[in-house]
Amino acid sequence: MQLPLEYELRNALVHNLELIEPGLRPVQLHEYPLPNAHGTKGSIDILARDRHQMWVIVELKRSRSSARQALHEVNKYTELLCREKHLAPDRVRAVVVAMPDDWKELLTAVSNAARDWSHDLRGYRLLLDSNGHPVGAERVQLLPRAFEPRITPIHNLFFFTTDEQRRQGWSIISEVADELGALDLLAADFDRVAEKHRIPALFGLYLAVGRVNEALASEDLLGGYDGSEPFAAEYPAEYLALCAICDRLAYSEMRGMNMEGSQPGLLSNLADDPNWAIREYRGTGAFGNTDAFEEQDLFRFLTGDDRGDSQILYTGSASPAVVSRWQGFRREARQSLAGNEEWDSLVGGWLDEAGGKVGDGDVALHIYNPCDLLQAIIHGWPDQVEKFLPMVMGAAVPDEGPQSLMRGALCWNGLGMSLSEAVRLVYRDPLYLMSRMYGGTVWECDRELLDLLGLHYVLLEKIASGPGRTSAVDEHRIWMQDEEGVRVYSSAADPYEYAQAYTDIAADGEIVSVMQYLNRHAREVEMVAREYRAVVHII
């Protein structure tokens, strides 16, 4: 069959638009010209109205080479039509009509555009009779968003007596995952390098399960899960895959092998522990070629820091002008602040303001939110406690104009009871702390402990002309939360209110950080650390 020319198809189709959709009718029978007030012009193949009175741009393509122009022209004509007719985006949609073979070229591009475009976009295959006349049209089923095999918070630790046993263990893990359709795994080998006499199994494997594509998964993973384990309700298929892996290893008769549950964030503790060293990374599926990633990427995947999954540590940046990434950035930051209502509200308020000011500029955040002052004392006092203490740092850098530098602080107001009394009142004894740790509810106790000690989360902000520059005209701000919500006090807008807010969070006229508070009460801190270290097991 000789294909008709494009203008012949257009002329035939404009009289039979109901072949595409019922109720579709042309605005005019010839091409619809658009003005060139913005430096471009063109003609819409067919401008139509549908049964809901929407404007419909019909773009017709009859060859694979011209099909490549379809999205460019649809975008251009939609924008020009909205401007000419003063139409809202939800009053205009577009239809791409092409020959069946031409959709091999169009399908991927149109599918991607349809997902992210603000206008409705559809595709149709035009069917011709033996004489080349249009006789029908089939709507094209566009491709769904590609599956993202990212790492989930479903993690586990395995300990082996030899490196060879670890390799055997990894082989079993990979085999079970493949059988179940849990195709994407990422793991880190870590070895005991000091104090080896304290534990029998010196070769560790830290395992994280990637998202399970339900279209490829075994039915064993699709039954759902109603238990209470952390993250299992959100990731039931991944949790069931881990259970199956653990069951197979438990019956593998590997002598001396043992396993422990884990959550995002623990690998960071192992990396900081001088007794352990990460040796290498290994993976399957999307993570099968670990050389395709930088080592820092793999580490952050496993710690959950790139998405805030650890609910403790997060580092990221975004531009508010890139709306989709900005929304993800906001979501990840909030996830990392779980359990800390004050910083969650304050950082959210700061991001709201920063997003409206920086335009095409950048906003960056670094968050460490352990919500566990007592364990910071137990594990870090006296020389390393600072690295276990909460921290928020942020910067909002516009293309032009003043920059905002923000830091979160846990400040002492000079009030509150003694540390030893407050710890005893909240935690009762070390065994109660252990039960709270295993139950994942230490953050609730931590909030009560901070209140008794007179410690409060705030944000301190400086707005200056550039990084590293300090000037008498810099604006200083205090962000606080009270019963009415987030309050911001500015040294420039209202010096008196700013001074009063400063007094509320200060002790003896100066802001005292939690580290300074601990140093001022070093004797009590030492007593508490000794008492709880006697019971709390430190790997």
In the chain, list all ranges with CATH 3.40.1350.10.
6-139
Q: Residue 391, Cβ neighbours under 10 Å: how many?
A: 16
Q: Does 22 or 324 have the greater pLDDT score?
A: 22
Q: Which amino acid is at 365?
A: L
Nearest Cα to Cα of residue 477 among 493, 494, 491, 456: 491
**Tokens found for residue 142:** 């566009």
SS3 354: helix
Q: Identify the DSSP state of 312.
A: S
pLDDT of residue 538: 46
For the domain covering 151-303, report its CATH number.
3.40.1310
**Tokens found for residue 401:** 């104009």
Asked whether 316 and 364 are in contact (CB, 8 A), the reply is yes
Q: For 17-25, what is the mean pLDDT?
A: 94
Give tens-digit pLDDT for 66-88: 556 888 899 999 999 998 899 98
Give tens-digit pLDDT for 356-395: 999 889 999 999 888 889 989 988 899 989 988 999 999 9
Contacts of 517 (CB under 8 A, 6+ apart): 412, 453, 455
SS3 278: strand
DSSP string covering 71-118, please? HHHHHHHHHHHHHHHT--GGGEEEEEEE-GGGHHHHHHHHHHHHHH-S
In the chain, list all ranges with CATH 3.40.1310.
151-303
| CATH 1.10.260.40 correct for 6-139 | no
Q: Residue 173, Cβ neighbours under 10 Å: how many?
A: 25
Asked whether 44 and 34 are in contact (CB, 8 A), the reply is yes
pTM of the full predicted structure? 0.64
pLDDT of residue 484: 86
Q: Residue 219, Cβ neighbours under 10 Å: how many?
A: 8
Q: Residue 160, Cβ neighbours under 10 Å: how many?
A: 25
pLDDT of residue 257: 92
Helices (H), 304-364: 323-336, 341-357
**Tokens found for residue 312:** 């403790």
Nearest-angstrom CA–CA distance, 279 and 284: 18
Angle between helices 419-427 and 442-453 (to 10 degrees): 150
Average pLDDT value for the chain? 88
Asked whether 433 and 374 are in contact (CB, 8 A), the reply is yes
Confidence class for position 353, pLDDT limits 50, 70, 90: very high
Contacts of 31 (CB under 8 A, 6+ apart): 10, 43, 44, 45, 46
Question: Residue 213 — φ and ψ, nearest 5°?
Answer: -80, 105
Give tens-digit pLDDT for 91-136: 999 999 998 988 988 999 999 999 888 899 999 999 998 888 899 9
pLDDT of residue 468: 53
Asked whether 215 and 237 are in contact (CB, 8 A), the reply is no
**Tokens found for residue 179:** 């059988």
Nearest-angstrom CA–CA distance, 475 and 471: 9
Asked whether 125 and 281 are in contact (CB, 8 A), the reply is no
Nearest-angstrom CA–CA distance, 413 and 172: 55
Give tens-digit pLDDT for 195-247: 888 888 999 999 999 999 998 999 999 887 777 676 788 889 999 999 999 99
Q: Which amino acid is at 211?
A: R
Q: Residue 421, Cβ neighbours under 10 Å: how many?
A: 13
